[in-house]
Chains A and B, each alone.
Chain A
Amino acid sequence: MTRALRRPVFLIGFVITLALFAVALLSLVWTPFAPAKMNIVHKLKAPFDFGFLGTDQFGRDVASMLMVGAWNSLSTSILAVALGASVGTSVGVIVAMRRGWLELVVMRGCDIIFAVPPILSAMMLGAFIGSGRFTAIIAIGTFMVPVFARLTLGAALQIWTRDYVMAAIGIGRSKTKITLVHVLPNISNQIIVQVTIQLGLAILTEAGLSFLGLGMPPPNPTWGRMLADAQTFLGQAPWLALLPGLAIAFAVLGLNMLGDGLRDLLDPRDN
């Protein structure tokens, strides 16, 4: 705890991430106004002229939209990272256990998946199964599978060379049991750090997909679509482009700092 308090990167990241989650969860029970409620009379009002952060071209409250946008962005990103982390980690530990030709095939497969950016796979999937949250989760999650598979494989292979694993093999423990009892708990720190960092990346990608209209459909507000809508009013109402971008930047900054802070904190060399 004291070590955590002495690390400003971790602290700042933790506070920003906590605020992000708090706002996202709060939006489920309370927002200043209904985020989809139009109020044309008060359209394009500047911050503090009407509501805390002004209104958009339909008179919708920007603060309320940003709050719900935080939940939409975060929940999509969490599901995408959960998909990538669970599949990628499973693949990584299984390959570390079996090795041989499987390692070659999986690593080549990772290169191939990594070659198609999520924006392009979301476009391909979107053409057939339609755009939306599901498509975004699949596209972002699939792209993250190689990231977690490579990380897990590298880390797990190191654990497989340790003395205590050799001892476990010696007393006849099965490879599956060794993976569950020794390998996974010992690489969990690295996976947690990566989950935090990839969550930031997922928020950035989700915002990009929403910006192109490949994210959650209207009337659900998303930060990316708010930016896309703001493009028409850049001269007239620049805050509409400023605020959602700041929200994205803060969310990603917080998660990246938290990830870096956690990496330092969980580094066994410091313990």
Chain B
Amino acid sequence: MISILLRRILSLLVTLLVVSLLIFCVMNLLPGDPASIMLGTSASPETLAALRTQLGLDQPLPVRYLAWLTGIFHGDLGQSYTYGVPVAGLIAERLAVTLPLALMAIVMSVAIAVPLGVQAARRHNGVFDFLAGIFSYVSIAVPAFWVGLLLIIAFSSMLGWMPAGGFPGWGAGLLAGLQALLKPAIALALPQAGVLTRVARAAVLEVMNEDYVRTARAKGLSDGVAIWRHAVPNAAIPVVTMLGLQFTFLIAGAVLVENVFNLPGLGRLAYQALSQRDIIVMQDVVLFFSALVIIMNFLVDLAYLMIDPRLRANAQ
């Protein structure tokens, strides 16, 4: 097990290194001078030259890449040109919004999808199964940011129950923070729940006729108990895998939803960095998001190996 783990960690590190190189190349090899992009066309040659020196753009590319990489290992992601503060601090500050938002969305989507998928499998080809199927189709088709707009129309414009957007900060209290994240989390969770319902239904259907579930029933356990105690834990593996695969879409959804609800998260930071042409912040945020996706998939992979001994044997 330890040798598998070491191999996977090594592969993770290589992947992260290549992603960083790819992002660096896109940001530095594409036509266009980052200094002129940041300062605009009206900047004087002296100001441009000063910014180039400040950003290290006068150095050769490999030196700049190594400097960026070394900085990352020391927790120094560079200085934001627009905000005038270290990017690492900026990311940490914005992560305090994006991370709870993503977690709330994941918890909500699992809480909706698993019971729905299990019930749909239990009543296979029945009315409930049909309705769950419609829910999956519709929720996968609706864009998360549109659901966000509908929630604002319903709960803010029409009912006036909640503010349309914004985030009071965790300093205003846990409840106020969670309340501000509730609508965005629902918007983000809905499309995920559609995908997960399908996976949960298919997985439970597959294991429902396995010998161990039949034995559990034969021992006198009720249908519900047999399914929840024996079928659902086995069906959890595909659901967890899909959660990992869907993480990229969750991140993409977060970028949009944070902009709809005006939340000061990482997605909004990336968008603001684009409008302000803050190349350093963009480069770091894109790397951070990509690393998050890769690490998430690595953890899912690992969880898979821990849960299923057959896969451990295959990996060896």
CA distance A241 to B26 in the complex (A): 35
Interface flag for B251 (CB, 8 Å): yes
Q: Is B142 an interface residue (CB 8 A)?
A: yes
Known: A112-B18, A115-B290. A245 touches B143 (CB 8 A): yes
Report Cα–Cα, A119/B294, bound state, in Å. Answer: 17
Cα–Cα, bound, A267→B216 (Å): 34
Q: Which of B14, B19, B23, B143 contacts A124 (CB 8 A)?
A: B23
A125 in contact with B149 (CB, 8 Å):
no
Q: Tell me the complex Cα distance, A117–B239, Å.
A: 21
Interface residues on A, range: 35 or more
Interface string of B137-154 (1 = CB under 8 A from A): 110111101100110110
Contact B274 A208 (CB under 8 A): no
Q: Which of B68-76, B104-112, B254-262, B305-313 is the interface stretch? A: B254-262
B126 adjacent to chain A (CB < 8 Å): no
Contacts of A266 in B (CB 8 A): none
Task: Give chain B residues whose Cβ lies under 8 Å from the Cβ of A111.
Answer: 15, 294, 297
Q: Does B59 contact A (CB under 8 A)?
A: no
- B189: Cβ under 8 A from any A Cβ: no
Asked if A234 is at the interface of the complex by the 8 Å CB criterion, the answer is: yes
Determine whether the beta carbon of A120 is less than 8 Å from that of B289.
Answer: yes
Tell which of A121, A200, A227, A250 touches B145, judged by Cβ atoms closer than 8 Å.
A227
Complex Cα–Cα for A102 and B56 (A): 36
B248 touches A128 (CB 8 A): no
- A117 to B138 CA separation, bound complex (whole angstroms): 23
Let me know if B5 is at the binding interface, CB within 8 A: no
Given A117-B252, A249-B138, also A227-B149 (CB < 8 A): yes
Chain B residues whose C-beta falls within 8 Å of the C-beta of A245 in the assembled complex: 142-143, 146, 149-150
Q: Is B274 a contact of A127 with CB atoms below 8 Å?
A: yes
Query: Is A207's CB within 8 Å of the partner chain B?
Result: yes
Asked if A230 is an interface residue, CB under 8 A from chain B, the answer is yes
Contact check, B256 vs A116: say whether CB atoms are below 8 A apart: no
Query: When the two chains form their complex, are residues B260 and A231 in contact, meaning their CB atoms are under 8 A apart?
Result: yes
Smallest CB-CB separation from B277: which chain A residue?
A: A127
11 contacts between A and B (CB under 8 A): A108-B11, A108-B15, A111-B15, A112-B22, A119-B256, A120-B270, A121-B286, A123-B274, A127-B27, A234-B149, A241-B146
Which residues of chain B are within 8 angstroms of A117 by Cβ–Cβ distance?
248-249, 251-252, 255, 289, 293
A111 to B270, CA, bound (A): 22
- Any A CB within 8 A of the CB of B167: no
A26 to B247, alpha carbons, bound, how many Å? 38
Known contacts A117-B255, A204-B143, A234-B156; can you find 15 more A-B pairs with CB under 8 A? A115-B290, A116-B289, A120-B251, A127-B27, A128-B26, A128-B31, A227-B146, A230-B149, A241-B146, A241-B153, A245-B143, A245-B150, A249-B141, A252-B140, A256-B140
Picked from A119, A238, A252, the residue with its CB within 8 Å of the CB of B157 is A238
Chain B residues closer than 8 Å to A126, beta-carbon distance: 274
Give me the interface of B with A, judged by CB distance under 8 Å.
Answer: 11, 14-15, 18-19, 22-23, 26-27, 30-32, 37, 137-138, 140-143, 145-146, 149-150, 152-153, 156-157, 164, 248-249, 251-252, 255-256, 259-260, 270-271, 274, 277, 279, 282-283, 285-286, 289-291, 293-294, 297
> Within 8 Å of chain B (Cβ to Cβ): is A165?
no
Decide: B138 and A253 in contact? CB cutoff 8 A.
Answer: yes
Chain B residues, CB < 8 A from A249: 138, 141-143, 146
Q: Which residues of B contact A248 (CB under 8 A)?
A: 141-143, 146
Find out whether the CB atom of B141 lies under 8 angstroms from the CB atom of A211.
Answer: no
Q: By the criterion CB–CB under 8 Å, are A256 and B141 in contact? A: yes
Chain A residues whose CB sits within 8 angstroms of the CB of B146 once the complex forms: 227, 241, 245, 248-249
Please state if B137 and A256 are interface contacts (CB–CB under 8 Å). Answer: yes
Q: In the complex, A116→B26 CA distance in Å?
A: 12
Contact call A116/B145, Cβ cutoff below 8 A:
no
A1 contacts the other chain (CB 8 A): no
Q: From residue B24, how far is it (CB to closest CB) to chain A in Å?
A: 11
- B-side contacts of A167, CB under 8 Å: none
- Chain A nearest Cβ from B297, distance in angstroms: 7
Q: Tell me the bound Cα distance from A230 to B137 in angstroms.
A: 26
Is A114's CB under 8 angstroms from B32's CB? no
Q: Report Cα–Cα, A231/B260, bound state, in Å.
A: 8
Which of A112, A211, A241 is within 8 Å of B256, CB to CB? A211
Asked whether A257 lies within 8 Å of B19 as measured between CB atoms, the reply is no
**CB proximity of B98 to chain A, nearest CB, Å:** 13
For the complex of A and B, the 5 pairs showing the least CB-CB separation, nearest first, are A245-B146, A117-B252, A253-B141, A128-B30, A252-B141
Instruction: Tell whether A212 is near chain B: CB-to-CB under 8 Å.
Output: yes
Which residue in B19, B140, B156, B282 is a CB contact (below 8 Å) of A112?
Answer: B19
State the CA gap A208–B164 with chains docked (Å): 20
Verify B37–A127 contact, CB threshold 8 A.
yes
Looking at A116, A208, A211, A235, the one whose CB has the most chain B CB atoms below 10 A away is A116
- CB of B143 within 8 A of CB of A207, answer yes
Q: Does the CB pair B153–A234 fall under 8 Å? A: yes
Interface string of A94-106 (1 = CB under 8 A from B): 0000000000000
Q: What chain A residues lie within 8 Å of B30 (beta carbons)?
A: 125, 128-129
Which residues of A (121-138) have their CB < 8 Å from a CB of B? 121, 123-129
